[in-house]
């Protein structure tokens, strides 16, 4: 994917739907070139083409989701990394914000050990000096994550001081929720360890609800999100004993 195609993908993700005509005007290339770019992006499963326009995929692919609000997610990852000390061992769950956190830790910290169930994160760090412990289990191909009873057992065998968790939804009535039963089960196994549990997510997840519970909320310690979170939601989380860190959106 070249830089123009990255820009096209970001515009489609940001708007939810973008016409070939508008994409051509925005990028300064011909509609023929845009159609070629869209064909390639569709073939790579980054978006879906329709007659005269393109729409994003509701994808589980980590790299695709990372492109959505990349600058903001990078800021969230930078803040989360500031909470980790040199020499610390941390668990980092699957997800786009968490992948950026893992890369930031590898760039900025010394002797950090990263425990993860994400093969994407492990691959991302293959050229770094960070120690990576990739837990085994059933391999979910779309999410590039390990799940299942074996993964639960491996979680019990390793120790870490902090766990960075991605979520799919939160509402006052439900607490934190996930869309995938097996990945949510792995999160619950991590929470049972009693390490400091930190939710790392952009504010779009607050107000959404999904079938599978992560928690209870009392097992979480902290939330790192952006200023898009509603004040009432932030206050509710703090009332339940969580620290809420609000990261400003980049200008």
Radius of gyration of the chain (CA): 19
The model's pLDDT over 107-146, given as tens digits with 9 standing for 90+, comes to 999 999 999 999 999 999 999 999 999 999 999 987 889 9
Ramachandran angles phi, psi of 108, nearest 5°: -110, -20
Cα 14-20-23 angle, rounded to 5 deg: 50
CA gap 60, 234 in Å, rounded: 27
Q: Does the N-terminal peptide bond of residue 216 adopt cis geometry, omega within 30 degrees of 0? A: yes
The model's pLDDT over 230-251, given as tens digits with 9 standing for 90+, comes to 999 999 999 999 999 999 987 7
Q: What is the largest CA-CA distance in the chain?
A: 56
- Which residues lie below 8 Å from residue 222, measured CB to CB, with a gap of 6+? 196, 197, 198, 199, 242, 243, 244, 245
The model's pLDDT over 52-99, given as tens digits with 9 standing for 90+, comes to 888 876 555 565 555 566 788 999 999 999 999 999 999 999 888 999
Torsion 55-61-67-72 (CA) sign = positive
- The two three-digit tokens of residue 239, written as one number: 């009332």
CA gap 230, 11 in Å, rounded: 25
Angle between helices 96-108 and 70-81 (to 10 degrees): 50
């Amino acid at each position: 994917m070249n830089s123009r195609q990255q820009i096209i993908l970001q515009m489609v993700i940001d708007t939810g739907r973008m016409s070939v005509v508008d994409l051509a005007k925005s990028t300064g290339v011909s509609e023929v070139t845009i159609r070629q770019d869209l064909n390639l992006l569709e073939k790579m499963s980054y978006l879906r083409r329709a007659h005269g326009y393109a729409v994003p995929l509701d994808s589980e692919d980590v790299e695709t989701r990372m492109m959505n609000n990349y600058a903001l997610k990078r800021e969230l990852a930078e803040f989360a990394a500031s909470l980790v000390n040199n020499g610390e061992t941390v668990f980092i769950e699957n997800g786009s914000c968490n992948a950026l956190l893992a890369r930031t830790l590898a760039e900025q910290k010394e002797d950090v050990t990263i425990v993860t169930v994400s093969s994407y994160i492990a691959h991302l760090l293959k050229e770094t000096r960070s120690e990576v412990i990739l837990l085994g289990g059933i391999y979910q191909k779309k999410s590039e994550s390990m799940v299942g009873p074996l993964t639960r057992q491996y979680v019990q065998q390793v120790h870490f001081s902090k766990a960075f968790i991605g979520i799919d939804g939160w509402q006052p009535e439900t607490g934190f929720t996930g869309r995938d039963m097996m990945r949510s089960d792995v999160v619950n196994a991590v929470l049972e360890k009693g390490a400091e549990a930190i939710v790392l997510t952009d504010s779009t997840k607050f107000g959404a609800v999904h079938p599978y519970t992560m928690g209870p909320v009392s097992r979480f310690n902290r939330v790192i999100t952006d200023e898009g979170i509603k004040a009432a939601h932030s206050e509710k989380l703090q009332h339940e004993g969580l620290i809420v860190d609000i990261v400003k959106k980049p200008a």
